[in-house]
């Protein structure tokens, strides 16, 4: 299956590291303060924020001069004081199954990956929150890449905006309203542990959820954590999105290997935090992600133990056939094992969908993301 790879630069954003403050990614309060600091009269500031917000996040306009409901001199003031920048798309790969993987460059020349997965009834954008990762989950390609830095709120929101650019999803003034969204869901399941970059992720999701802009509902956003227990409740109270947990094992002995943060907050501690997750209900269940690794965590006993562990938690279990990557120390469980596992979970009353690997031909499947930043850093050190 040959993948179509596009090497050209898809958008011509201003250099991210432009010295001017970037309004992208600012919360409304931060933008209001910035506009006032740049000379906007205080009593006009709220209105100006609303106008700029709509241009940037509803119409997808990133040229101040095109914001025609603003006076010319005010547009000039904005252009003299601010920038509207999103990460630069370096490459876009399109898989034979329609999955798109973007390699995007951020400040400092670092790169992260963003994946768009179109399905019949939805379009999911998988976004990153760190360059590399704080953690080293042994089944995850990103886990082999040391943490370089957290993404800013602008770089997180910017991933959604550049994907909308590429998919042509910004509405056109005067054109009839398009009901079906191409990006109907966002998952924070890309590179990095989002709860180790809480504030930037929170602010970025507030921008994405804001009703006057991109307006994606909170239940259309799922944040996946490997188990940073102290930040779990805040996800509900300060972001309000759905929660997924990288669970992947039913004993501490195995989870210590697969998800080393388990040594800090083990299964019992994690489950206790999940049982207390604010707003938990059958309509807002927690998703337990479970990668199927041959001979590691895929026995019937594992399945029965998982059912016991979930008792009392409104949950669903996403079974992920392992997606191999160069040098990976594991193999995918057999189809029969995965289905037998799924049946046990399902018969116990939990939804247990088996995730269809997408974009494997372009290394876009779960756990396969890794940017070249590490290799570059290594080669830079050698030279």
Active-site residue identified among 111, 113, 193, 289: 113
| Cβ proximity to ligand SF4, 135 vs 162, nearer residue | 135
Q: Identify which range of 22-30, 45-53, 89-97, 129-137 contacts ligand SF4 by CB under 6 A.
A: 129-137
| Cβ proximity to ligand SF4, 24 vs 156, nearer residue | 156
Query: Is 113 among the catalytic positions?
Result: yes
Q: Which of 22, 95, 124, 142 binds ligand SF4 (CB under 6 A)?
A: 142
Decide if residue 227 touches ligand SF4 (CB under 6 A). Answer: no
Q: Identify which range of 132-140, 162-170, 230-238, 341-349 contacts ligand SF4 by CB under 6 A.
A: 132-140
Decide if residue 262 touches ligand SF4 (CB under 6 A). Answer: no
Q: Which of 155, 193, 203, 360 binds ligand SF4 (CB under 6 A)?
A: 193
- Residue 115 beta carbon to ligand SF4: minimum distance, rounded to whole angstroms: 13
Decide if residue 133 touches ligand SF4 (CB under 6 A). Answer: yes
Q: Which of 95, 197, 246, 323 binds ligand SF4 (CB under 6 A)?
A: 246
Number of residues near ligand SF4 (by CB under 6 A): 12
Decide if residue 160 touches ligand SF4 (CB under 6 A). Answer: no
**The 3-state secondary structure of the chain, one letter per residue:** CCCEEECCCCCCCCCCCCCCCECCCCCHHHHHHHHHHCCCCHHHHHHHHHHHHHHHHHCCCCCHHHCCCCCHHHHHHHHHHCECCCCEEEEEEECCCCCEEEEEECHHHCEEEEEEEECCCCEEEECCCEECECCCCCCCCHHHCECCEECCHHHHHHHHHHHHHHHCCCCCCCCCCCCCCCCCEEEECCCCCHHHHHHHHHHHHHHHHCCCCCCCCHHHEEEEECCCHHHHHHHHHHHCCEEEEECCCCCHHHHHHHCHHHHCCCHHHHHHHHHCCCCCECCECEEEEEEEECCCCCCHHHHHHHHHHHCCCCEEEEEEECCCCCCCCCCECCHHHHHHHHHHHHHCCCCCCECCCCCHHHCCCCCCCCCCHHHHHHHHHHC
Active-site residue identified among 133, 137, 140, 366: 366
- Residue 308 beta carbon to ligand SF4: minimum distance, rounded to whole angstroms: 24
Query: Is 289 among the catalytic positions?
Result: no
Decide if residue 143 touches ligand SF4 (CB under 6 A). Answer: yes
Contact residues for ligand SF4, defined by CB under 6 A: 133, 135-137, 140, 142-143, 191-193, 226, 246
The residues annotated as belonging to the active site are 113, 366
């Amino acid at each position: 299956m040959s993948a179509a790879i596009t090497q050209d630069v898809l958008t011509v954003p201003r250099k991210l590291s432009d010295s001017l403050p970037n309004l992208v990614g600012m919360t409304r309060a931060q933008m209001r303060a910035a506009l006032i600091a740049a000379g906007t009269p205080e009593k006009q500031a709220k209105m100006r924020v609303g106008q700029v917000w709509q241009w940037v996040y509803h119409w997808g306009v990133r040229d101040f001069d095109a914001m025609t409901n603003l006076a010319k001199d005010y547009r000039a003031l904005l252009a003299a004081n601010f920038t509207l920048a999103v990460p630069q798309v370096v490459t876009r790969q399109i898989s034979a199954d329609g999955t798109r993987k973007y390699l995007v460059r951020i400040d400092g020349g670092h790169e992260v990956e963003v994946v768009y997965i179109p399905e019949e009834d939805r379009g999911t954008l998988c976004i990153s929150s760190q360059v590399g990762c704080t953690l080293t989950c042994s089944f995850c390609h990103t886990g082999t890449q040391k943490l370089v830095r957290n993404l800013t709120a602008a770089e997180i929101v910017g991933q959604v905006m550049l994907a909308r650019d590429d998919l042509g999803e910004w509405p056109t003034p005067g054109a009839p309203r398009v009901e079906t969204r191409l990006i109907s869901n966002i998952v924070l399941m890309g590179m990095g542990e989002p709860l180790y970059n809480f504030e930037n992720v929170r602010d970025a999701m507030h921008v994405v959820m804001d009703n006057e802009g991109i307006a994606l509902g909170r239940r259309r956003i799922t944040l996946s954590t490997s188990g940073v227990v102290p930040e779990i409740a805040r996800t509900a109270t300060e972001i309000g999105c759905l929660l997924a947990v990288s669970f992947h094992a039913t004993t501490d002995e195995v989870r210590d290997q697969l998800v080393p943060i388990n040594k800090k907050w083990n299964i019992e501690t994690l489950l206790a935090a999940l049982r207390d997750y604010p707003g938990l209900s059958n309509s807002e269940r927690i998703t337990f992600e479970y990668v199927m690794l041959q001979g590691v965590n895929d026995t019937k006993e594992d399945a029965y133990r998982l059912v016991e562990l979930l008792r009392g938690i409104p949950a669903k279990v996403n079974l992920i056939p392992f997606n191999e990557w160069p040098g990976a120390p594991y193999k995918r469980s057999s189809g029969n094992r995965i289905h037998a596992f799924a049946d046990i979970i399902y018969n116990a009353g939990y939804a247990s969908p088996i995730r269809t690997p997408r974009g494997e031909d372009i290394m876009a499947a779960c756990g396969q993301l890794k940017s070249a930043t590490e290799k570059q850093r290594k080669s830079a050190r050698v030279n």
